[in-house]
Structure 1
Amino acid sequence: MKLRIGILGTRGIPNYYGGFEHISEYVSAGLVQKGHAVTVYNSHNHPYTASSWNGVNIVHCYDPEYLIGTAGQFAYDFNCLRDARTRNFDVVLLMGYTSSSVWGRMYPPNSAIITNMDGLEWKRSKYAKPVQRFLKYAEKLAVKYSQFYIADSKVISSYLKDKYSIDSRYIPYGADLFSEEEREQLDKTDAQKEDYFLLMARMEPENNIEAILEGFNESASAKNFKVLGDTSNRFGKYITHRFKNDSRIQFKGSIFDNTAVRSLQNNSYLYFHGHSVGGTNPSLLEAMASEALIAAHNNPFNKSVLQSDAFYFDNATEVRRLVENVQRHDTERTMVKNNLHKIQYQFNWEKIIDEYEEFILECYHAHNFERIVPARG
């Protein structure tokens, strides 16, 4: 059966922004290849201005975020939903709920509504208490107005079951393996094998960047530490100032060349992943796929993905211990191989696209059966 599917909740495709855009790009194109008619909603400010991409229909909606800041996201989602109500989609897939669930009464009434429930946004320390309270409320509205749910982490799936007594389908993000073509493009001058530690993240407190760099700063390591990420925000400026006197720490800014990023991951001595909130993190999967040896913050989200195939830390003291003591021997090489195996068989895009299609079809049939067959009692 071929369905009409609308994907909302992202800034659009192809991906220029982040996680939900990343997965929407792969899933939408994959569903088109399977014969479905897929529409993705793009911000009118998105760099890609054409009306289709790899067979995916693109609808550009007005997005005033550039004028009024965060409040513009709510207006953008309102505009997308208003348009979606006119298009007779069989299924609407909402990627996240932060600024869309307040419009829950506007969800297209004849479509099966699926929401990817995101990564417990209200836990993020970057948000003030009033914003955290709103995000909890938005989560509650998403549960109320959606009919079906996706969790990209088993931890989130368990949380939804415990908190709201709802079932969700666990479907994680995916990653591509580090290709031979990417290896051939490796810049040897910038990615000398195993000569540096590496961290790649948004400059936010919950990513444990300060603890990681503090641990390295206090270490006796002779290696450099490369930090990838935009440091122009308040926390980024604080971090660069705090560690400005350690010449080993190199703030490289944002690097948008994916091949260059993956080469740096592949050639790092140890890759630090400090994310402590969220689901299956795309940058973690890419580091696994790039065959990096990984040290991760000790939390259920990371452990559910990496299991025993990583080093874990809770604080700067433990980071320092890893920096000074981790070796690259057979045990560590086995950890890298095991994580690569996970990408090949658990987190590969082909499998994830299949799982999205299977769930979307299930939801469509369940939605239409419930509409046709009256409830008993």
Structure 2
Amino acid sequence: MKLKIAILGTRGIPNYYGGFEHISEYVSVGLVKRGHEVSVYNSHNHPYTQGDWNGVKIIHCYDPEYLLGSAGQFVYDLNCIRDARKRNFDVILIMGYTSSSVWGSFYPSKSAIITNMDGLEWKRSKYSKPVQGFLKYAEKLAVKYSQYYVSDSMVIKQYLARKYDINSRYIPYGADMITPIEREQITPEEALKEDYFLLMARMEPENNIETILEGYNQSNSDKPFRVLGSTDNRFGKYITHKFKNDSRIEFKGSIYDTAKVRALQNNSYLYFHGHSVGGTNPSLLEAMASEALIAAHNNPFNQSVLSKDAYYFSNPADVKALVETVQRREPEKVMVDNNLQKIKHLFNWESVIDGYEKYAMECYLNFNNEKVIA
């Protein structure tokens, strides 16, 4: 059975932006290779302007975000939905709900609607109380107007079952294995093997950057601590100012060279992952695939992915202890290898594409059977 599938809710492919664009790129191309007709909606501001990319049809829609800021995302999503109403898609996959679910009453009635429910966006401390309230409302609308749901984390799946009594399909995120070429991206002058700590994240409070750097700052370590991520926002400026007198902390800014980032992860002594909100985090999977030894913030999201194959921290004292005591010996090698096996057998793109293909088929058949019965 071959389906006509549309993917909405992203800025488009190829990926120039982030998580949902990244997974949409892999899933759309993977489904095309399996014989399905797939269309991805792209912002008219997207750098790629052609109508086809690796067999995926690209539908360009007007996106006024450059004029209206975040409000423009709502207009863009509405434009995509209005266009989708004119086409006879079997299945529509909506990535996230923040700026699309308010238009739920306009979703095409003849298509099976699957929404990837993202993380618990309303928990992010970077948002004001009114915005957090809106995001809770948007989540409810996504549940109301979609027929089917994807959770990329078992924690999200359990939350949706508990809160809304819905059975979402667990389909994780994916990551590519590190390649020999990527391993060689760092010269000996740039980094001695395992001679530095590493953190890579958006500068946001819920990523526990302050907790990590506070713990390191209190330690007696002589290894440098490299921080990857733009520090241009308010929190980033606060963090750089707070730790400006610790010469061991090196703020490297954003690095967009994926091979170099993965080599940095691979070569680090200990990779700190502080994310505490959301589903399966792509940067965590990449660190696992890059064979980094990981210290993660102690929360259900990270535990569901890493299990016993990581060190955990909850406060600066925990970080200080890890920095001063973690060794790179046989138990640590086992942790790294176990995480690599998870990437090979669970968090790999072929498995992810399998999951989306099977679920899309199930939803299409179920949706059309219900229409016949009605």
Q: What is aligned with 1:340? A: 340
Q: Counterpart amino acid of 1:268? A: S
Pairwise CA distance, 1:65:
1.1
Q: What is aligned with 2:357? A: 357
Q: What is aligned with 1:79? A: 79
Hey, what's the Cα distance between the residues in 2 that align with 1:283 and 1:187?
Answer: 23
Q: In structure 2, the residue corresponding to 1:6 is in which secondary structure?
A: strand
Matches within 5 A, 1:10-89: 10-89=10-89
Hey, what's the Cα distance between the residues in 2 that align with 1:158 and 1:120?
Answer: 12
Q: What is aligned with 1:226? A: 226
Hey, what's the Cα distance between the residues in 2 that align with 1:323 and 1:69?
Answer: 41
Q: TM-score, normalised by structure 1?
A: 0.98
Matches within 5 A, 1:123-202: 123-202=123-202
Hey, what's the Cα distance between the residues in 2 that align with 1:310 and 1:94?
Answer: 33
Hey, what's the Cα distance between the residues in 2 that align with 1:194 and 1:307?
Answer: 23
Change (3 A) 1:191 1:47: farther
Q: Counterpart amino acid of 1:233? A: N
Q: Counterpart amino acid of 2:315? A: N
Q: Counterpart amino acid of 1:367? A: F
Q: What is aligned with 1:328? A: 328
Pairwise CA distance, 1:56:
0.7
Hey, what's the Cα distance between the residues in 1 that align with 2:364 and 2:151?
Answer: 18
Pairwise CA distance, 1:201:
0.3
Pairwise CA distance, 1:344:
0.4
Q: Does 1:319 pair with 2:319?
A: yes
Q: What is aligned with 1:292? A: 292
**Structure 2 portions without partners, runs of 5+:** none
Pairwise CA distance, 1:206:
0.2
Contact 1:97 1:142 (8 Å CA) reproduced? yes
Contact 1:151 1:171 (8 Å CA) reproduced? yes
Matches within 5 A, 1:186-265: 186-265=186-265
Hey, what's the Cα distance between the residues in 2 that align with 1:86 and 1:252?
Answer: 47
Hey, what's the Cα distance between the residues in 2 that align with 1:188 and 1:257?
Answer: 18
Contact 2:295 2:312 (8 Å CA) reproduced? yes
Contact 1:191 1:263 (8 Å CA) reproduced? no
Q: In structure 2, the residue corresponding to 1:162 is in which secondary structure?
A: helix
Q: Counterpart amino acid of 2:313? A: F
Q: In structure 1, the residue corresponding to 2:182 is in which secondary structure?
A: helix
Hey, what's the Cα distance between the residues in 2 that align with 1:190 and 1:45?
Answer: 36
Pairwise CA distance, 1:184:
3.7
Aligned length: 374
Hey, what's the Cα distance between the residues in 2 that align with 1:188 and 1:351?
Answer: 36
Q: What is aligned with 2:367? A: 367
Q: TM-score, normalised by structure 2?
A: 0.99
Hey, what's the Cα distance between the residues in 1 that align with 2:365 and 2:188?
Answer: 53
Hey, what's the Cα distance between the residues in 1 that align with 2:348 and 2:191?
Answer: 26
Q: In structure 2, the residue corresponding to 1:15 is in which secondary structure?
A: coil
Q: Counterpart amino acid of 2:363? A: C
Deviation track 1:81-110 (CA, whole Å, cap 9, x = no partner) reads: 011111111000000000000000110110
Q: Counterpart amino acid of 1:207? A: N
Deviation track 1:120-174 (CA, whole Å, cap 9, x = no partner) reads: 1000000000000000000000000000000000000000000000000000100
Hey, what's the Cα distance between the residues in 2 that align with 1:110 and 1:305?
Answer: 36
Hey, what's the Cα distance between the residues in 2 that align with 1:209 and 1:34?
Answer: 42
Hey, what's the Cα distance between the residues in 1 that align with 2:307 and 2:236?
Answer: 30
Hey, what's the Cα distance between the residues in 2 that align with 1:170 and 1:236?
Answer: 34
Hey, what's the Cα distance between the residues in 1 that align with 2:264 and 2:54?
Answer: 29
Hey, what's the Cα distance between the residues in 2 that align with 1:144 and 1:289?
Answer: 37
Q: Counterpart amino acid of 2:328? A: R
Hey, what's the Cα distance between the residues in 2 that align with 1:278 and 1:344?
Answer: 23
Hey, what's the Cα distance between the residues in 2 that align with 1:189 and 1:90?
Answer: 54
Q: Counterpart amino acid of 1:137? A: Y
Pairwise CA distance, 1:183:
2.2
Contact 1:93 1:113 (8 Å CA) reproduced? yes
Hey, what's the Cα distance between the residues in 2 that align with 1:364 and 1:357?
Answer: 11
**Structure 1 portions without partners, runs of 5+:** none
Contact 1:40 1:59 (8 Å CA) reproduced? yes
Hey, what's the Cα distance between the residues in 2 that align with 1:159 and 1:187?
Answer: 45
Contact 2:199 2:226 (8 Å CA) reproduced? yes
Pairwise CA distance, 1:181:
2.6
4+ residue runs over 4 A deviation: none
